[in-house]
């Protein structure tokens, strides 16, 4: 099926460049990149349960006329939209009905768990948006509104179940855009960890506990380290809500001091830039196993090469199609110390 026929802005947007491809063509393109980087490995592929309507977070810009949309590639020319083919149905319902903004602002993020939609508005620099105009504009369409990360109407938290852990994420807290395949990824990690039975796990770049707390739920001893305060606050609240215990350290992973913690399994889920030189400190104590989740194949290759120099053997590579219709990909690698 030619998916771009379902997207009214495909030819101008430039975000979903793989939409014209069939599912098989997209798979071949994405696996081809990984295969060139890791030519000796058989790479497994897990597709997204949904090719369209999977994004549970989208961010739109606002122009001087109050129109919402995406910027054209390499420009600040706005494409006014009332539908995004990869956005969740509940978000598109709002986009189709929402009038133009009565007040200027920088951007707006719509976030949903499939049941509720909340909006987070960001003001322009040195020009705070008017909450008196924002609230009546959005109130008929969403159940919560945040302005510059502060709640100004309703409930701005969203509930999710991940790995049988009941989470509630505040507006500042990051969560994966494609929760359906995220659950598959977490289940894959749970199965692997259950097989190797580590004594203690260090989950760096842990976020709000997407992976780590699912393992705590299954009785594993986990230390989570995360720099974002909102994510740590949500993770602690999640532990209390689910009656589980985890050691949660609010600190950038880059400040980890080698040897300060004992762990025999290391979980890494870094930002796009990867771990970089600090990776040597992470593995200085030679944990037996490493789980590495990456959204950037080329930076993954750099870190994998460093791990191999440190005596780690790459056991498994699995590609998760977290972002269908786009060139982006989530990759899971399993390493074991020789």
Catalytic amino acids? 295
Which residues, listed in sequence order, are joined to residue 87 by a DSSP beta bridge?
55
End-to-end CA distance of the chain: 46
The H-assigned helical ranges of 52-150 are 89-97, 131-138
Distances (CA, A) of 35 to 11, 42, 319, 322: 29, 8, 11, 18
205 by DSSP, 3-state: which?
coil
**Of 169, 162, 165, which Cα lies nearest the Cα of 188?**
162
Contact 44, 316 (CB under 8 A): yes
324 by DSSP, 3-state: which?
coil
CA 209, 329, 32, 309 dihedral sign is negative
Distances (CA, A) of 290 to 202, 219, 270, 279, 280: 10, 19, 13, 11, 13
């Amino acid at each position: 099926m030619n998916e771009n026929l379902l997207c009214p802005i495909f030819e101008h947007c430039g975000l979903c460049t793989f939409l014209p491809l069939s599912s098989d063509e997209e798979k071949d393109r994405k696996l081809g990149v990984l295969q060139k980087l890791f030519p000796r490995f058989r790479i497994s592929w897990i597709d997204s349960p949904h090719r369209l309507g999977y994004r549970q977070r989208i961010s739109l810009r606002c122009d001087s006329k109050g129109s919402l949309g995406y910027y054209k590639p390499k420009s600040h020319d706005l494409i006014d939209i009332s539908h995004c083919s990869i956005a969740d149905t509940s978000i598109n319902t709002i986009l189709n009905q929402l009038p133009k903004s009565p007040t200027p602002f920088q951007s707006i993020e719509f976030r949903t768990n499939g049941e509720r939609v909340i909006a987070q508005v960001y003001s322009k620099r040195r020009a705070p948006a008017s909450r008196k105009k924002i609230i009546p504009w959005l109130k008929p369409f969403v159940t919560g509104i945040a302005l510059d990360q502060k709640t100004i109407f309703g409930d701005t938290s969203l509930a999710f179940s991940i790995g049988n852990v009941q989470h509630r994420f505040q507006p500042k807290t990051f969560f994966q855009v494609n929760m359906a395949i995220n659950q598959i990824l977490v289940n894959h990690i749970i199965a692997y960890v259950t097989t190797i039975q580590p004594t203690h796990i260090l989950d760096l770049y842990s976020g709000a506990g997407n992976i780590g707390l699912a393992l705590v739920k299954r009785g594993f001893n986990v230390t989570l380290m995360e720099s974002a305060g909102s994510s740590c606050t949500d993770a602690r609240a999640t532990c209390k809500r689910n009656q589980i215990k985890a050691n949660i350290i609010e600190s950038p992973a880059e400040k980890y001091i080698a040897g300060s913690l004992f762990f025999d399994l290391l979980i890494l889920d870094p930002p796009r830039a990867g771990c970089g030189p600090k990776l040597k400190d992470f593995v200085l104590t030679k944990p037996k196993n490493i789980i590495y989740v990456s959204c950037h194949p080329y930076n993954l290759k750099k870190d994998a090469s460093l791990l191999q120099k440190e005596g780690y053997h790459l056991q498994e590579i699995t590609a998760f199609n977290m972002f269908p219709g786009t060139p982006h990909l989530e990759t899971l690698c399993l390493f074991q110390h020789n």
